[in-house]
Each structure stands twice: as C-alpha cells, then as structure tokens.
Amino acid sequence: MVDAVYEEARFASLYDVLNPWQPCYEFYRKKMMVADSVLDIGCGTGKVLAEARRSGHRGRLVGADPAAAMLTIARAKTDEVEWLCSDVQRLPTNDRFDLVVMTGHAFQLLLTDDDIRAALDAIRQVLGPSGQFIFEVRNPVVRGWEQWTDRNTRRTVSAPDGGVVEVVYIFERQRPPDLVDYETAFRFHDVGESYSVSSTLRFINPTRLCEILTATGFEIVRQEGDWSGAPWTSASPEVIMTTCLSAD
C-alpha cells in the first residue's frame, strides 16, 4: 500500500513545493544525461526525468511510481517521458535500461529485507548488462529523525492552487530493528482542514545493505557520502550506492 502523502492528490500537490530542486536532484540529473536509457523507480512527481529531458537528454526516459496522484503531476510536466503507474515489483520485464535510479530516499520505503530483495530481483531484470543502479539511503548513524521536531520542521508554504498550508514533520518512534515512524501534519488554512498522516521509513545499516546487494547479484562500484561526491565514511549523512550486476 502506498503512503497517503503520495497517494492523495491534496498532499501530492505539495510535494514539489516542499522538495524543491536541490543538489541530490542535480547529482541524478547529471548521471541521467550520460546514459542512453533511464528508468527512475519511485519517480514521484518526475522532476529529475523532466529536467533531464528539458536539458537535452535525447534517449529513452521512463518514470515508474505506484502513486497515481504523483504521476498526474509528473505527466503535467512533460509528455516526453514515459510515465508508468507501477510498483518496483511490477515493472515490465521486457525492457532493459542503461541506468536505473531511485531518488529522494525512495529506497527507504522498502521496509523489510524481503521487500528489498524483491525490489532488487525486479531491478536485475530491467538493468542492461553494463547498466548501473544508483540510489541512496540516509545514514542511520546520523540519527536524522531526531531533528524531526515541531520546532525544526514547521513551515508555511503556498500550494500550487494558491492556498496557504502549514506542514510539520514529527518523529514518533523507532521500531526494531531499524524502522522509524513519523507523522506529517498538514493544516490547509483556506479551507480550515487539518490532516495527520503516519509514515514509516527504514534506516538500514550500510553493512546489511551491502550484504543484501551482494547476495542478490549486485556489485558495489562506488559508495559516496554526500552530494558533492565525497567518499563514504561511517559519519557521512548519506549512503549513495552506485552498483552494477555482478559478473557471476
């Protein structure tokens, strides 16, 4: 089941306002520009693919996401990208891509080892023989969720329809082994409506992530720690994985 923050149009419409263009997106756009064919899994509102096309990508660009409300926004950006309403486990298996990505910490929505293994099995089927799969997770050591407090995250934004919306992210609890529950609270001032949505992210241990990647037939080509391309250290904010299919 897809999280309501992506599935419901009133929340999805705020995604790009709350997540404007930033170095992580530029990192992926540059990777896309040098790949002939690209599949963005969990593409959401499709901003990296749309920007790659706008900045001159001439090859095949495909975005897949199970949340129809997010794809509606993606489709409005451009019809020069193929948009597929699909979960990572239900990708069309007759296609092969030079680059497969999962951006915006979408990989952290895979909550169990089984979910990750099933996703990686599906990605193996759509990756060309010399293709790369690039994605990132937040480094759990940094304990980023501790910053998700009313004081740190409350903000007021203008929605695309002109309405004023107050949004706050609140950490709720950690659940063993590595899950973090949090709440997103929305207050739509113009209509006087408030909503609270509960979500869960997995903060997988990087060593465990490498074990699963290797066991499912991936080789780690590079592991970076931030969007400037710094090599990963145990204290890095991000775990940015560039992988390929292992030779055997």
Q: Where along the sequence are the contacts to ligand SAM (CB under 6 A)?
A: 2, 6, 19, 41-44, 47, 65-67, 70, 87-88, 103-106, 109
What is the distance between the alpha carbons of residues 240 and 229, in angstroms, rounded to a whole number?
9
Work out the burial of residue 72: count CB atoms within 10 Å of its CB; fewer than 13 is exposed, 13-18 middle, 19 or more buried.
Answer: middle
- Of 25 and 188, nearer to ligand SAM (C-beta) is 25
Cβ atoms of 70 and 45 closer than 8 Å: yes
What is the distance between the alpha carbons of residues 145 and 178, in angstroms, rounded to a whole number?
12
* Cα 230 to chain centroid, rounded: 20
- Of 103 and 236, nearer to ligand SAM (C-beta) is 103
Residue nearest to ligand SAM (CB): 104
* 3-class state of residue 237 by DSSP: coil
- Of 31 and 105, nearer to ligand SAM (C-beta) is 105
Q: CB 50 → ligand SAM: shortest distance, Å?
A: 11
Q: CB 168 → ligand SAM: shortest distance, Å?
A: 17
- Of 108 and 235, nearer to ligand SAM (C-beta) is 108
Q: CB 225 → ligand SAM: shortest distance, Å?
A: 19
Place of tokens 């293709």: 131
